[in-house]
Structure 1
C-alpha cells in the first residue's frame, strides 16, 4: 500500500520521462514520413521517365530507340546493381533456406530492405537505451518501462497497416505487398520484444517495492495489468509462432491463430491503456479504425465483384490438369477489367471455408453470353463460356492455374481427380484484383519475361496486352521473349490454349519469342521444336546465358521480369545485375509471394 508522498516506480508515472518519449515518437514518425516522401519523389521521377520514354518510343524506329538502351550515369548503375537489386550477400534472396525437406527457414531480405530493417532496429535500441543513468536504479527501470511501452504501442500502427491488402501505400509508393509483409513481420518482432521489456521492467520494480506475491496480486486483481499481460504473452508467443518453419508448414492453421491472437493483442493493449487513461490510447484507436476500414473495404468489394442482383453469384469450375495442377475458372456475374500482372485472393467455401489464398490471374475474358439455367450447366466440359438458353449474361471469366502442394491446393486437386471427367463446379469468390504497379511494361522496347512452372500465369496477360498495344502503335515494345522453365511437357498443357490464342494475335510472329526449357523430358521426340516463335530446349534454364544471347540485340530500354521459384528468381536477379553493371538500361522486376 502506497501512501501520499511515497515514490511509486512500478505503477505510477514516477520515473517516466514523458518529454523524451514524445521526442522519440516525433522522430520515428518524421523519419517514416521522410522516407515515404523520398520514395514517392523517386517513384514520380521513375514514372515521369517511363512516360517520356513511352511517348517518344511508341512511334519510333528500332534505331531511334537505341538512345534509351544505355545508362550513362555510373552512379545510378552502382545504386541499382549494388543496392536496389542486390541480395543481402552472394546471390541468395528468395531461394528458401532449407534445413531439411520438411523445414523451411524462409528467405533473406534484399540488401536495401536489410539496411532499412537494421537501421530501424538500431534506432529502437538507441531510444530504449537513452535513459537518465544519473537517477537511482528503480527510476531508470521505470523510465525504461515507459519508453519500451510507448515504442511498442507506436509500432502497432504501421504493423497493422503493413499487413493489410488494401494498404494505400502500395499504389502510392508502388511497393509490393510482399515487401510490406516483410516489414510487418519485423515490426511485429520489434514490438513483441519491447512489450516483453515493458512487462519485465514493471515486474522488477513491483517485486523490488513489495514481493513476488504482490506481482501475482496485481495480475489477478487489477484488470489493466491482466490485459497487458495477455497482450504481452500473445506477442511473445507470436515470436515463435510466426517463424518460417511453423508459418509455412501449417499456413492455414497459422492464419487462424494469428488473426485470433492479433485481436487479443489489440483488445489487451486498448483496455490496458484505457483503464490507466494513458495518452497512447488514440494510437490503438487508429489501429482499430485502420483494421475496420480495411476489412469493410474488402467485404464491400467482395460483394460487389461476386454478387449481382440480376446475374446471381460467381460460379467456379475446377479442372484437374496433368502434372498435379488445377485450372480454376471463376465466372464473375459482371464485367470487370483485370490489369496485367494482377493477382486475386480466391475463396472456395466447400474446400477452405472462409480462408483465402493468393493466385496470379492467368487469363481473363469478358463477354456477353446467355445465362445458364443452373450451375449444373457448367459441367459440360465442351463449353466453358456459360452458353445456355436464357437471357443475356454479362460476365468476366477469370482463370487461375494452381499447382497442387499442401492444404487447400492439394484438397482442390484431390477433389477434382475424384470427380467425373476430373472436374467439378461449386461456388467460389474472388477478391481483387491486386497489383504492386511495379513498372509500365509498354514503355520498354525489349521485355524479357522469365517464368518458372506455374509462374507463367503472371506473364500471359502482360504478353497479350503488349501485343495489343503494339498492334495499335501504343507501345514502345518491339521484342518480347518469354522464357519458361518447366519440369515436363505436362506443365505446357496448363496454358496451351492461351498461348495458341496469343500466337494468333497480330505481330506475334515478329515480336514474340518463346523459349521453353524442359528439365525432365520423357523422350527426345517430345523436345522437337516446331520452329518459328517457340523454341524448345532440354535441360535447366540458365538465365545468364539467355540474357547474353538477347541483350546484344535488344531494342531500346529493357525490362527483365521473373515469377517462379526462389532459385530461378535469384539466378535471374544475378544475371540482370551483371548486365546493369555493363551499362545496359535494364529494370528488374520480381513477383514474389514469400509470406
Structure 2
C-alpha cells in the first residue's frame, strides 16, 4: 500500500451529472456542457500521475527525515562518548583535533556557511525603508531549491500529447490542486511550536519556521495556478458567464474561490516588510485568514468527495491538537483552584524590562531554553518569545532556590529532578508589547508593576555543551539571557566533574555599562561560585561608553568599543582545551560576524558553531 493511499480513505467521482442538470435548467444545451467538460469534474485530470508524484514526495520526506535522524543519533553518540571520556579531564588532547576531514569541510562550506559572503541573519534590505527579512544559509538554500524545483517539475510533468490543449490545462488544474493540498501538511506541521520533529531531529524552530514560510509560498502559488487553470478552461469554453454560473450554482467552486482568495491574502500579508512592521496585527489576521482558507478548502473538497479530504482533515487535527496541548499546558502551569500565575515587570536602564513570572506549579528548566509569554492586560491575543535568563529551582531537601546542575532531564545531586516555579526574563523595549511594558513600568510606583499572565514552554535548549572542554559564549545586548544559565550549569559541571568543561569564556557586547544591571544579581551569584576563577573568564565590551572603562579583576575585564571577533576566536582556538563550542545569541549582524570568524577554524580543529536566533 502506498503512502498516499494511507492518506486518502475514498475516491468518489465529482457529481458531474448534477452540475449538468443545473446547467440544463439554466438554459444550457448539451454542446455547452461538452465545451465545459474540462472545467468540471476529473475529465482530463491525470489522477495516476498525481498519486505517483504524491507518493514520490512522501517517500522523499520520510527518507530525508530518516537520514537526518540517523545523523542526529550518530552525533549524539559521538558527543556522549566524548563527554564520558573527557569529563573532569584537564587535558583532553585527543579531542582537540578532527577525526575526519569530510565532516569539518562539509560543516564549514555547507552546513554553517551563509548563502553568499557572510550575510545570513542580518536583515536583507532593498532600501532603509523596506525590510526583506533574512537570507537562508547555504544548506537551507540547497534544500529549498530542490523542494521548489521538484514542485515546479511535478506541475510541468503533464500529458502534452493530447489533441486538445484544454485537457493539458485540466491536468495542470488537478496536479497543482493535489500538490497544494499535500503541501499544506508540512506547511502547518513546520509552523507548530510543539512540532515533534524539533525534538526528534534536534533542528531548531527557527529552521522549521523558514521551511514553513517556503512551503506556504509553494502552496499559495499552486492554489493560484489551480484556480487559474479552472478559470482558463471555463472562460475559453463559455466566457465569464460560465464562471459566474459555476460560482453561483455550485457551492464547492464558491468555497474553492474563497480559499484561493484567503491564501492569496496570506501571501501578500506575510511579505516581510508587512510582517515585521505590524507583527502583532499580522499574526492575528494571519490566523484568521488560515482558518478561513482551511474552511474553504475543506468545503471545496468535501462537497465533491475528493480523495484529498483526509489530507485536510489531518492538517486540521494536527493544528487543533497542537493548540489544545498548548492550552492545557498554559492552564496547568498558570492556573489552579486558588490562584493564577503572575508577572512582575521592572523597568531597567537602557530601555529594558525584567520580568519575573511566578507559576502555580513547578516545571523543569534547562539551559538555553525559551518561553512564550502572554500578558492579556497589555496584549490580549499575542505571545512573545523570550530566552529564559534565570529559573530559580527548589532543592529537594530545602527551600533554597538554585539552578540545575545537569542538562536534559535536570537532576539534583540526590538524583531527583529539580523543579522551578519562578522564571525571569529580560527584554528590550522595541515596539508593541515590550514598549507598552516599559512605559507602564516607568509610570508605576518604584518603576514596577504586577499583573496576571502566563507562559508556554520551555522550548528549545536542545544543545548540550557538556562534552566540550572549551565553551566560548557570545552575547549581544539582551542575548545575555540565553547564556547566563549555561554559565551556572558549566561552572557547576566543572566543580562536580560532571562535564568536560575546563575553559569558559563569556564575551558580552552592550551599548553602555548601565545595561549590566539587567543580570547583575544572577551574575553576582555566578561570580561567587566555587571554582569560578579557575574556569571562567568574562570580557565585557562597552560599545558606547559614557566615561572611562575600568576592569574589575583579572577574570572580569571591560573594554571600550566593539570587539575584534577574528582575534578573539583565534585566541580561544589556539588555547582551547579539548573540543570547542562557540555559541552566539546576538543581533543578526553581530551573529554573522561571529560566524565568519569561526568558520575558518572548523577545519583546523574540533570546533562547532551554535547560533540561537529568532528570525520570525
Shift of 1:395: 6.0
**Structure 1 stretch 31-40 or stretch 208-217: which is displaced more?**
208-217
Describe the superposition over 1:439-458 as per-residue Cα deviations: whole angstroms up to 9, x where unpaired.
32111000001000000000
C-alpha distance in structure 1 between counterparts of 2:395 and 2:358, whole Å: 12
C-alpha distance in structure 1 between counterparts of 2:158 and 2:395, whole Å: 69
Match of 1:127 among 154, 160, 169: 154
Shift of 1:59: 3.1
Partner of 1:10: 39
Shift of 1:507: 1.5
Shift of 1:469: 1.8
1:174 matched to 2:179 = no
CA contact (8 A) 1:86 1:110 kept: yes
Instruction: Give 1:117-516 correspondences, 5 Å limit.
Output: 117-135=144-162, 136-309=164-337, 312-367=339-394, 396-435=421-460, 437=462, 439-516=463-540
Partner of 1:592: 613
Match of 2:82 among 47, 50, 53: 53
C-alpha distance in structure 1 between counterparts of 2:278 and 2:464, whole Å: 37
Partner of 2:406: none
Shift of 1:367: 3.9
**Structure 1 stretch 105-114 or stretch 2-11: which is displaced more?**
2-11
CA distance 1:368–1:48, shift in 2 (3 Å): closer
Describe the superposition over 1:160-201 as per-residue Cα deviations: whole angstroms up to 9, x where unpaired.
011111000000000111111100100111010000000000
> Does the residue aligned with 2:361 lie in a helix, a strand or coil?
coil
Describe the superposition over 1:526-576 as per-residue Cα deviations: whole angstroms up to 9, x where unpaired.
x10012221111111222111111111100001110001001110111111
Partner of 1:19: 48
CA distance 1:24–1:304, shift in 2 (3 Å): same
> Does the residue aligned with 1:225 lie in a helix, a strand or coil?
helix
Instruction: Give 1:68-83 correspondences, 5 Å limit.
Output: 68-83=95-110
C-alpha distance in structure 2 between counterparts of 1:411 and 1:542, whole Å: 36
Shift of 1:120: 0.5
Shift of 1:76: 1.4
> Does the residue aligned with 1:537 lie in a helix, a strand or coil?
strand
C-alpha distance in structure 2 between counterparts of 1:238 and 1:101, whole Å: 25
> Does the residue aligned with 1:366 lie in a helix, a strand or coil?
strand
Match of 2:541 among 507, 517, 531: 517
Describe the superposition over 1:120-143 as per-residue Cα deviations: whole angstroms up to 9, x where unpaired.
100011100001111120000000
Shift of 1:244: 0.9
Match of 2:73 among 25, 31, 44: 44
> Does the residue aligned with 1:465 lie in a helix, a strand or coil?
helix
Shift of 1:97: 1.7
CA contact (8 A) 1:343 1:360 kept: yes
CA contact (8 A) 1:176 1:436 kept: no
C-alpha distance in structure 1 between counterparts of 2:154 and 2:362, whole Å: 53
C-alpha distance in structure 2 between counterparts of 1:547 and 1:61, whole Å: 21
> Does the residue aligned with 1:540 lie in a helix, a strand or coil?
coil
C-alpha distance in structure 1 between counterparts of 2:294 and 2:578, whole Å: 52
Shift of 1:466: 1.1
CA contact (8 A) 1:335 1:367 kept: no
Gaps of 5+ in 1: 370-393
Shift of 1:208: 1.6
CA contact (8 A) 2:90 2:577 kept: no
C-alpha distance in structure 2 between counterparts of 1:21 and 1:336, whole Å: 47
Question: What's the TM-score once normalised by structure 1's chain length?
Answer: 0.93
C-alpha distance in structure 1 between counterparts of 2:121 and 2:61, whole Å: 26
1:533 matched to 2:555 = yes
> Does the residue aligned with 2:76 lie in a helix, a strand or coil?
helix
C-alpha distance in structure 1 between counterparts of 2:129 and 2:426, whole Å: 25
CA distance 1:436–1:134, shift in 2 (3 Å): farther
Describe the superposition over 1:194-244 as per-residue Cα deviations: whole angstroms up to 9, x where unpaired.
000000000111112211111012112321111111111111122221111
C-alpha distance in structure 2 between counterparts of 1:226 and 1:555, whole Å: 66
Give the superposed CA RMSD: 1.5
C-alpha distance in structure 2 between counterparts of 1:204 and 1:316, whole Å: 57
CA distance 1:184–1:284, shift in 2 (3 Å): same
C-alpha distance in structure 2 between counterparts of 1:254 and 1:400, whole Å: 25
Describe the superposition over 1:83-138 as per-residue Cα deviations: whole angstroms up to 9, x where unpaired.
00000010000001234444321100000001101101000111000011111200
C-alpha distance in structure 1 between counterparts of 2:466 and 2:332, whole Å: 30
Matched residues, number: 564
CA contact (8 A) 2:471 2:580 kept: yes
Shift of 1:436: 5.3
Partner of 2:584: 562
CA contact (8 A) 1:307 1:313 kept: yes
Gaps of 5+ in 2: 1-22, 24-28, 397-418
**Structure 1 stretch 216-225 or stretch 293-302: which is displaced more?**
216-225
**Structure 1 stretch 332-341 or stretch 286-295: which is displaced more?**
332-341
C-alpha distance in structure 2 between counterparts of 1:198 and 1:335, whole Å: 50
CA contact (8 A) 2:540 2:557 kept: yes
C-alpha distance in structure 2 between counterparts of 1:446 and 1:436, whole Å: 19
CA contact (8 A) 2:332 2:361 kept: no
